[in-house]
Amino acid sequence: MHIPDSLLPPAIAIGGYAITGGTTWYALRQINKDHDPTQNIPKASLLTAAFFVASLIHFPVPPSSIHLILNGLMGIILGYYAFPAILIGLFFQAVLFGHGGISTLGVNALLMGIPALYAHHCYQWGQGWVKKYPLGSTIWTFFTSASALLLSAFLFVSVVIANIPADLDTDLERQAILISMIGYGIQSLIEGTIGVMVVSFLWRVKPELLPHGGERGSPF
């Protein structure tokens, strides 16, 4: 789900960088409100590397396999660090593997990063009322992870279709978005399931990795 170089007009690519710059500034401002932001740098960096590596794991979807995006899970675990983490991860993917591109890095960071910030807020907001109900927690974590991926997919497909230099009519455009979203819908189900399983695993093994994890018992 990376837009490669040369596909977007320069105004969109530069605009993407401008908005990414603003969002990064906002995320860093929130991070600097921590009592000791320095302490969290190694944690966020190594988790960024871990998410990067985890996204290389192939999940079987016969007859082929997919690799996960995990931006919803990143938002849940990393909070505001998720945006710089995604920016760095995408930069590495563009430079090291050629997935995405340098000129489209700003737009790609928004496509993945904004849903990660949404996942962070969505998960935090839900904790207030689902923490007492195991099933509620499971459903909310699933919803958060899956909807973050769906939001990314929707943004990605919309940006690509809106900027393909073809004379597509509105109906054809709508159909293309719909068909693409069906594929991503299946992936979002897997992404949501994996989100629930990983969060449940962390509650059992290392609850301090989750927001407020050390402060209360597992809802799973």
Partner 1 sequence: MARETRTVTPRGREGVAILGIDRYAHLKSPVHRWQHPPKLLGLLSLIFTFAGVERLQLLPLMVGVTAGLYALSRLPFSFLWGHLRYPGLFIAGVVVFLPLVQGETVIVQWGAVAVRWEGCLTVVLIVTRFVCIVTVSLVLFGTAPFVSSLKAMRSLGLPKLLVDMALLTYRYLEELAEMRLRMQRAMTLRGFRGDRLTKRNLERLADLVGTLLVRSYEQSQRVYQAMILRGYGQPTTEQDQTWQGIHAYSWWGLVLTLVIACSFWIAPLVL
Q: Which of residues 91-120 bind partner 1 (CB under 8 A)?
A: 91-92, 94-99, 101-103
The span of 117-125, 132-140, 148-156, 157-165 binding partner 1 (CB under 8 A) equals 157-165
201 binds partner 1 (CB under 8 A): yes
Of the two residues 129 and 172, which places its CB atom closer to partner 1 in the complex? 172
Out of 31, 139, 155, 181, the only residue in the binding site for partner 1 (CB under 8 A) is 31
Q: Quick check: 10 binds partner 1 (CB under 8 A)?
A: yes
Reference 114, options 151, 147, 88; nearest CA is 151
Does position 155 bind partner 1 by CB under 8 A? no
At 152, the amino acid letter reads: S
Listed in sequence order, the residues at least 6 apart from 146 whose beta carbon sits closer than 8 Å to its beta carbon are 72, 188, 189, 191, 192, 195
24 is a site residue for partner 1 (CB under 8 A) = yes
Q: How far is the CB of 114 from partner 1 (least distance, A)?
A: 17
CB of 5 to partner 1, least distance (A): 4
Q: Which of 209, 213, 218, 217 is nearest to 46 (CA)?
A: 209
Return the residues of window 168-187 that contact partner 1 according to CB under 8 A.
168
Q: Which of 19, 139, 155, 160 touches partner 1 (CB under 8 A)?
A: 160
Q: Using the rule CB under 8 A, is 135 a contact of partner 1?
A: no
Of 78 and 130, the one with the shorter C-beta distance to partner 1 is 78
Task: Pick between residue 103 and residue 138 the one whose CB is nearest to partner 1.
Answer: 103
Residue 57 or 162 with smaller CB distance to partner 1: 57
From the list 57-65, 114-122, 133-141, 177-185, the region that binds partner 1 by CB under 8 A is: 57-65
